[in-house]
């Protein structure tokens, strides 16, 4: 078994869609990034890559590569999943926390879990996603951005 941690943060800006966990969430601002800036998916990818000691998403999907410009992060998660399988591992479980003052994410969490489970080829019961505010403290509380922390456990496929 191997364990990995992931962290990601993106700034909220005008004229961008808010995509979290592969779900478009209606909001007046979206996350800024080279790809679709899906803060949850990026942190999950980093946790998997970390557990495998394969670096981070910047190494595998650099923002200097225009082929990743505005790409759906779920496609990048699928590529990360394939790396995990090639290394002989599968998901044990993934536990995530998203910090955002607004919008309220609770209505979307079940769909996010289903998306992650589908792409990671695991049961939805192995994916946990929590959302919290920061009680108006810090950049999340001031609604300047959204952050996500993830821990994952990988187990041998044998």
10 among the known binding-site residues? yes
Q: Is there a binding annotation on residue 139?
A: yes
Q: Is 39 annotated as a binding residue?
A: no
Q: Would the annotation count 72 as a binding residue?
A: no
Question: Is the bond preceding residue 103 a cis peptide, omega within 30 degrees?
Answer: yes
Q: Is 110 annotated as a binding residue?
A: no
Is 107 annotated to bind a ligand? Reply is no
The answer to whether 61 is a known ligand-binding residue is yes
Helix ranges restricted to H, the chain: 39-51, 57-60, 73-86, 109-119, 138-141
109 annotated ligand binder: no
**41: Cβ contacts below 8 Å, ≥ 6 apart:** 21, 22, 73, 74, 76, 77, 116
Which 8-state DSSP code applies to residue 68?
G
Residue 34 is labelled as binding a ligand: yes
94 annotated to a ligand binding site:
no
Is 16 marked as binding a ligand? no
- Consult the annotation and say whether 135 binds a ligand: yes
Residue 57 marked as a ligand binder: yes
> Do residues 97 and 21 touch, judged by C-beta distance below 8 A?
no
Between CA 93 and CA 33 the distance in angstroms is 27
Is there a binding annotation on residue 62?
Answer: yes
* Bridge pairing between strands 19-20 and 23-24: antiparallel
* 8 assigned binding-site residue: yes
**Does 60 belong to an annotated binding site?**
no
> Which residues line the annotated binding site for a divalent metal cation?
8, 10, 42
Binding annotation: 8-10, 34-35, 42, 56-58, 61-65, 132-135, 139, 142
């Amino acid at each position: 078994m191997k364990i990995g941690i992931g962290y990601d943060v993106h700034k909220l800006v005008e004229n961008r869609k808010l995509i979290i966990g592969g779900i478009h969430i209606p909001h007046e601002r979206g996350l800024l990034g080279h790809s679709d800036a899906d803060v949850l998916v990026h942190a999950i990818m980093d946790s998997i890559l970390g557990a495998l000691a394969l670096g981070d998403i910047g190494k595998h999907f650099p923002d200097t590569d225009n082929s990743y410009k505005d790409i759906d992060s779920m496609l990048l998660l699928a590529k990360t999943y394939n790396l995990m399988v090639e290394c002989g591992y599968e998901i044990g479980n993934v536990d995530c926390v998203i910090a955002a003052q607004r919008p309220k994410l609770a209505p979307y969490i079940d769909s996010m879990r289903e998306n992650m489970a589908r792409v990671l080829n695991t049961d939805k019961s192995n994916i946990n996603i929590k959302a919290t505010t920061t009680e108006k403290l810090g950049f999340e509380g001031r609604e300047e951005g959204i952050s996500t922390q993830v821990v994952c456990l990988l187990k041998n496929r044998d």
